[in-house]
Amino acid sequence: MRLLIPCLEYRDPISLYEVDILGLGVMDLLVRYVYPVLSGYAKANIIFYLKVGEDDEIAKPLNKHSIPLTLDDGTEIPKSDIHAHVCRSIFKLIEIYDGFSVIRIAIRAHFQDNILGRPPRFKEELLEEVISECLQPASGEIEISNLPVKSLRSTKREYSKHITIPRKSGKIALRPFLVADTETIFIDKTHVPYAIGVMMVIPGEELMLDRIDTYFSEDYSSIIFPTFEERSTQMLKSLIFRIENITRRNSTVKAVYFHNLGRFDGSFILKHLALYHPNYTVKPLMRDNKLYEIAVYSKKKRLLFTFKDSLHLLPGRLDDLAKNLCPELGSKGSISYEDVRLETLSTMKSGLLAYMEQDILLLGGIMQKFQDLYYKAYQVDIVKKLTTASLALSLFREKYYDADNWPIHIPNQNEDTFLRRGYYGGHTDAYTPYGENLYYYDVNSLYPFIMKEFPMPGGIPVWHSNLESMELDSMFGFIEAYVECPKSIKKPFLPYRNKKDGTLIFPTGTFVGVYYSEELKYARDIGYTIIPISGYLFDKMESPFKGYVNSLFESRSNAKKMGNDALSYVYKLLMNSLYGRFGINPQSTRTEMCDKSRRDSLFRRTEFIGEVFIREDLYMVSYLTNPGKGPSYWEPPKNSAVQLAAAITASARIYMYKYTSREDCYYTDTDSVVLGNPLPEDDVSSSELGKFKLEDKLVRAYFLAPKCYCYATEESEGKTKVLKFKGAGKSVITPEWFEEQYADPSRSLTEKVTSHFRPDWKELEVIKKESTISLRTVSSTKRKSSFDENGKWVGTDPLDINDLSCLNYIGTKLFFNLKRKNALLENENSALSQKLVQLELERGIIVPREVESRKKPQPLEDKNTLEDNDTLEDKNPKRGEEERGEENVNSVKRRRWTIFFDKSS
């Protein structure tokens, strides 16, 4: 099994429109480096490195999956077909990255062992062949993207069509578990463990430092293990053997918790188990490059123990969690990392181990307290769950879910694919870059409030391919619609996902998207033009989450009154974690460790993404789940209901728009707003669900872009209290940078930044990476900056979008129907205007010389809704009051129009 990564670097960037040049560049790499060593089944990932202007380069795979270079039997696919497929893929890339140029092309070619036994060919022979083939049209016999593949599953499974109530188990006993921690040192910019420790936590028993087993690299003989890496490896072996010994003696102990296993400790553990413990079968649970669990089995497939991430159960810093849950154990210690070097390890041993032991003690206390609190409240052991969201879902299903009267439908493949297009996140925007004497408000539990108070889509969705005959007000569900937002709306309401980079923006203009019916109705009422095209309609039902939210909120309030901050924190976590679990995406990147046979099977699938060779007969393979190629591939999460998550986030945006659309709104982020004036007292409460609480009074604040702000408060006496910057440059950003950037938004600084804890899953390492970045105000991705006559930055305006690429046949038909209807309305309005002029002439309201200026109809106002009772005012100052009032004939009602595509228009 081999991996080859040739690369082509362009001296000058090549525009994406140079399809021929780029296509031949890909073929040149294949011919020079891949085909000469091709002797069996092979696939390739083609990666374009794109750049526009001075922005950082981005790496974009040409195809979602690797493309095969041969058929299953090793027969080469005609190079003309490969070339044609590459060119088609480049054209698709242009649609998204219009204006970008290519600076580099790389190919990751994966080879299977020789199955044909043919000798490699010379590149001169291949070069002549590929030139002659690529100059010919594609054969048309093989379409690379549609090669026949088999499902990853050998049998078809049946899935429940609605979420079920879990079976009730008998009384359970709380399980003991282990907690552990690792300390590392840099060796050639790579983290290598020098100390590791583990402690058993028994429910109800006091935690003590002397129960912690610690292992230190320098305690191992430098004669037997001369290098530090060897001593570190032996130290990890001792830990693994100790854990196995504990779990064999006590069969109820299976879980070993690290805080941040997924992005730190897990790399060392996974690599060590794979390389040095061949008698184990290791199964990592990894989705989208996030490690959740490492399960370790014996060769007889008996579960020995599992490494889990406590951060997924209790998100937050270890020190902050300890203050909430177990303050009696003290605080996290500190060490001088700069002084920890290979030559100082032995002399610093006692201090380093004490630091690690305190971390282990705190983690043990946090998990023990959380386990005890949760069990007393709900008789469930947290050790059985991986995440807070899974805990919340189990609680809802067991205690509050009414499957008979409110069954939650699990969407099938078609439904999920469509509904997920209407699942957007929270609204984050920066409107005004600088302000003084501002008010920062935050909503008390926004999403739980929405879950309690707003109706939800229930029942089984019904597909409507053409909604032309239905009124928008009668619809409830998720609708693909033509949307037109007038430029007069300075803070637009409906979201749109930018196709270039996936950024969620709120633009003006015309576009097509899938939206929750209630937000379409709201948008229409504030001035949008909406044309429903097609969609899934649900039953409008009272929320099934009322009991869940009410119970948790009441429990949290009682815990606060009793001064039990720990219990209050647990209830808050559960209350806020449920909604997102329903929106879990069935399509994800899955990673597994497997032998050569399984690797070969995965390698031949179009879902295959990449692999890492670990050791002989052991590979770590990544592939795409639910690739969207048909029902035989569909394997939905058991409890996914994206319609609920999408309805909750959409309703939250509706609720917040009243505040985010205010003229004095400077900044908003999902459930918070910064305003120039205080809210009415009726909207403010520090304890009532859905009300706003005043977080801070800001003396001055800079809001340069979403997730990029800093402010000083009255409490901080004018000094910067909060500084937020999304991106790698956070460590070098200062309050002064915000001031200078506000004065000159075009300013760009180049800084060197260091990422000390960068996971590298291909090498199963955590590395120290130094890079050069450009620090600038990235505000143009969501809104464009506006300046006054003196060139001073004063605000932002919405981007204007014109994207009708998603219109299908029915949508196009409805769109042109609207245009025709508007033309008829304009003609009717013109005719009415002429009749009005004639009537005014007959009654002497105007004189003939004014007729010419009144012949042309007045244009419709830039609104969708105009008042129906507006009257034509008298413009003749010579007329007397008697004429004005006579029979009210001089106040002639002018007809105005509300233009929507439904029966009401």
**Could you read off the pLDDT of 698-735 as tens digits, one per residue?**
999 999 999 999 999 988 777 778 888 887 777 788 89
Q: Which DSSP string corresponds to 491-527? A: S--S-EE-TTT--EE--EEEEEEEEEHHHHHHHHHTT
Bigger pLDDT: 150 vs 309: 309
The percent of residues in the chain predicted with pLDDT above 70, rounded, is 84
pLDDT for 495 beyond 80: yes
Least confident of 93-107, 223-237, 527-541, 682-696: 93-107
At 505 the pLDDT is 94
Measured distance CA(588)–CA(551) in Å, rounded: 34
Question: What's the one-letter identity of residue 600?
Answer: D
For residue 93, the model assigns a pLDDT of 83
d(Cα 60, Cα 40) in Å, to the nearest integer? 27
Lowest mean pLDDT segment, chosen from 15-24, 668-677, 776-785, 794-803: 776-785
Q: What's the rounded mean pLDDT across residues 203-225?
A: 91
For 853-894, how does the pLDDT look when each residue is reduced to its tens digit (9 = 90+)?
544 444 444 433 333 333 333 333 333 433 333 333 333 333
Q: What does the pLDDT read at residue 884?
A: 37
How distant is the alpha carbon of residue 493 from its chain centre? 20
Q: Quick one: pLDDT band at residue 335, thresholds 50, 70, 90?
A: confident
pLDDT for 415-436, tens place per residue? Answer: 999 999 999 989 999 999 999 9
Residue of higher predicted confidence among 499 and 496:
496
Q: In whole angstroms, what is the distance from residue 619 CA to residue 596 CA?
A: 7
pLDDT of 546 over the 80 cut: yes
For range 26-45, the mean pLDDT:
86
pLDDT (0 to 100) of residue 525: 95
Nearest residue to 596 (alpha-carbon basis) of 618, 612, 577, 563 = 618
Q: What is the pLDDT of residues 603-625, one digit of tens each?
A: 888 788 888 888 888 889 988 88
> How confident is residue 784, by pLDDT bands cut at 50, 70 and 90?
very high
Give the global pTM. Answer: 0.78
Give the per-residue pLDDT at 811.
60
pLDDT of residue 151: 37
> 379 is written with which tokens?
């008789």
Quick one: pLDDT at residue 458? 95
Contact status, residue 660 vs residue 494, Cβ threshold 8 Å: no
The pLDDT of residue 192 is 94
Within 8 A by CB and 6+ apart from 194, the residues are 183, 184, 185, 216, 217, 218, 228, 232, 235, 345, 352
d(CA 647, CA 582): 11
Tokens of 186: 């840099």
- Residue 590, pLDDT > 90, answer no
Looking at residue 717, what DSSP letter applies? T
pLDDT score for 817 = 66
Q: How confident is the model at residue 895 (pLDDT cuts 50, 70, 90)?
A: very low
Q: Report the interhelical angle of 565-582 vs 642-660 (nearest 10°).
A: 110
What is the SS3 assignment for 402? coil
Rounded Cα–Cα distance for residues 663 and 660 (Å): 8
Q: Which helix (H) or strand (E) holds 695?
A: strand 692-705
Q: CB under 8 Å to 325, separation ≥6 — which residues?
A: 365, 366, 369, 370, 566, 569
Percent of the chain with pLDDT over 90: 46
What is the separation of C-alpha 664 from the centre of its chain, rounded to a whole number of angstroms?
29
CA gap 799, 143 in Å, rounded: 39
- The 10s digit of each residue's pLDDT in 248-258 is 999 899 999 99
**Of 512, 724, 544, 751, which Cα lies nearest the Cα of 641?**
544
- pLDDT in the model for residue 730: 78
Name the token pair of 632: 């035989």
* DSSP alpha helix (H) spans, 727-860: 735-743, 809-842, 851-855
Indicate the burial class of 671 (C-beta count within 10 angstroms; 0-12, 13-18, 19 or more): buried
Q: What is the rounded distance in angstroms from the CA atom of residue 16 to the CA atom of residue 23?
A: 10
**Between residues 139 and 677, which one has the greater pLDDT?**
677
Q: What is the pLDDT of residue 143?
A: 53
Question: How far apart, in Å, are the Cα atoms of 36 and each of 71, 118, 124, 399, 762?
Answer: 17, 11, 9, 64, 26
Q: How much is the pLDDT for 114?
A: 54
Whether the predicted pLDDT of 145 surpasses 80: no
User: Poorest-confidence range of 152-156, 278-282, 388-392?
Assistant: 152-156
Q: What is the pLDDT of residue 173?
A: 84
Q: Give the separation between CA 565 and CA 180, rounded to whole angstroms.
A: 26
Give 258-293 pLDDT, tens digit per residue.
999 988 999 999 999 999 998 999 999 888 778 999
Instruction: Check pLDDT > 70 for residue 848.
Output: no
Helix, strand, or coil here: 69?
A: coil
- List domains and CATH numbers for the chain: 2-145 (3.30.1490.100), 177-386 (3.30.420.10), 589-624 (no CATH), 823-888 (no CATH)
Counts for the chain of helices (H) and strands (E), in that order: 20, 34
Contact criterion met (CB below 8 Å) for 674 and 660: no
* Best-predicted range by mean pLDDT (16-30, 371-385, 653-667, 755-769): 653-667
Q: Is the dihedral of CA 583, 586, 589, 595 positive or negative?
A: positive
Note the pLDDT of residue 798.
Answer: 95
pLDDT-based confidence at 299, cuts 50/70/90? confident
Between 152 and 351, residue with greater pLDDT: 351
Between CA 549 and CA 448 the distance in angstroms is 6
Tell me the pLDDT of the chain averaged across its residues. Answer: 83
- Average of per-residue pLDDT across 200-219: 93
- Is it the case that residue 595 has pLDDT exceeding 70? yes
Q: Is the pLDDT of residue 502 over 90?
A: no
Cβ neighbors of 390 (< 8 A, separation 6 or more) are 581
Sole residue written with tokens 């935690």: 207
- The residue length of the chain stands at 905
Identify whether the C-beta of residue 372 lies closer than 8 Å to the C-beta of residue 204.
Answer: yes
Q: How far apart are CA 246 and CA 763, in angstroms?
A: 30
Q: Which two tokens stand for residue 576?
A: 């806020």
Which residue in 232, 199, 202, 201 sits closest to 213, CA to CA? Answer: 199
Structure tokens at 136: 């010919």
pLDDT value, residue 814? 63
pLDDT at 80: 86
How far are the Cα atoms of 242, 262, 305, 822 from residue 257, in angstroms, in the given order?
Answer: 15, 11, 11, 65
DSSP state of 211: G
